[in-house]
A = this chain, B = another copy of it.
Amino acid sequence: MTFVISKLYNVITGIKFSLNDSLYSRDPQNTELGQRILKHSINLIDEIGLEDFTFKKLALEIESTEASMYRYFENKHQLLLFLTSWYWQWVQYLISIHTLNIDDPERRLKIIIKSIINATSENALNEYINESLLHRIIINESSKAYHTHAVDEENKHGIFSSYKELAETIARAILAINPSFPYPHSLASNMLEMAKNQVHFAQHLPRLTDIKVPKGDLSELETMMEFFVMKLVKD
């Protein structure tokens, strides 16, 4: 019996990404407490927002201690960086799966758009990350990850590489359709930002958008994104 419990203690379930060392003090994916930190921080940030989120509140939720949180992440900003990186790797992973045998460049790009937008509804088959809530955090909080005075320093440590690699993937797909398109990287990053912002606007500042997101249904966003991207990319 104790054997089962002690074994359970170390079981790592589902998908796990290799993330840059600088995104944590100790990799939370590898321990039970680490996974609980991820799970509950996603719940709590979604619930009260990053500003009001503290390690003390998180520890209370988990029934652990503040000090234990600090063994995994230096501060809540690093935790946010971890969560966003994880998310972008997840999107990258979904794109690679869904475009595996697709040769038509236009179909590829459309699948990429779909993957960016619907990453939330696919299940990572790990128990500690709720992609749907994480998606909401990405929409609401992720811009804070790179809008900071420490961007350059953090960038040197490779903190943003998953985001940049995802943008590179999209840029390549754009060029596959139109090799002379002059702004593939700008369009790629703009697609990612637009996918976030337009949902946020639809939900909070509806005069800033023309789409609706009824009950989280993102199909209007997908139609619009396709319209924008295809009109721009095609000759």
Contact A205 B155 (CB under 8 A): yes
> Among the listed stretches A3-11, A35-43, A104-112, A227-235, which one makes contact with chain B, having 4 or more residues with CB under 8 Å of it?
A227-235
Which residues in chain A, 194-229, are within 8 Å of chain B measured between CB atoms? 194, 197-198, 200-201, 204-205, 207-211, 224, 227-228
Cβ contacts under 8 Å, A193 to chain B: 193-194, 197
The 8 Å CB contact of A198, one of B155, B186, B211, is: B186
Knowing A48-B149, A200-B147 are in contact, say whether A186-B164 is a contact too (CB < 8 A).
no
A186-B211, A189-B197 known; A164-B224 Cβ under 8 A: no
Q: Which of A55-63, A92-100, A119-127, A177-185 contacts B (4 or more CB under 8 A)?
A: A177-185
Contacts of A163 in B (CB 8 A): 208
Q: How far is the CA of A198 from the CA of B140 in the complex (A)?
A: 19
* Given contact pairs A186-B224, A209-B189, A147 touches B140 in the complex (Cβ within 8 A): yes
The number of chain A residues with a CB under 8 A from chain B is: 48
Q: A25: CB under 8 A from chain B?
A: no
Name the CB-closest residue of B to A198: B186
Instruction: Please give, as numbers and ranges, the residues of chain B lying within 8 Å of A205 by CB-CB distance.
Output: 146, 151, 155, 160, 164
Residues in chain B near residue A168, CB distance under 8 A: 207
Contact of A194 among B141, B185, B190 (CB under 8 A): B190
List chain B residues, Cβ under 8 A from A186: 198, 201, 208-211, 224
In the bound assembly, the distance between CA atoms of A146 and B140 in angstroms comes to: 9
- Taking the closest CB of chain B, its distance from the CB of A157, in whole angstroms, is 13
CA distance A144 to B232 in the complex (A): 29
Bound-complex Cα distance A213 to B146 (A): 18
A222 to chain B, nearest CB (A): 13
Specify which chain B residues have a CB less than 8 angstroms from the CB of A227 in the assembled complex.
Answer: 182-183
| Cβ–Cβ < 8 Å partners of A149 in chain B | 48-49, 51-52, 140
Decide yes or no whether A148 CB sits under 8 A from chain B.
yes
Let me know if A116 is at the binding interface, CB within 8 A.
Answer: no
Apart from A182-B210, A189-B201, list 4 A-B contacts with CB within 8 A: A183-B211, A186-B211, A190-B190, A231-B231
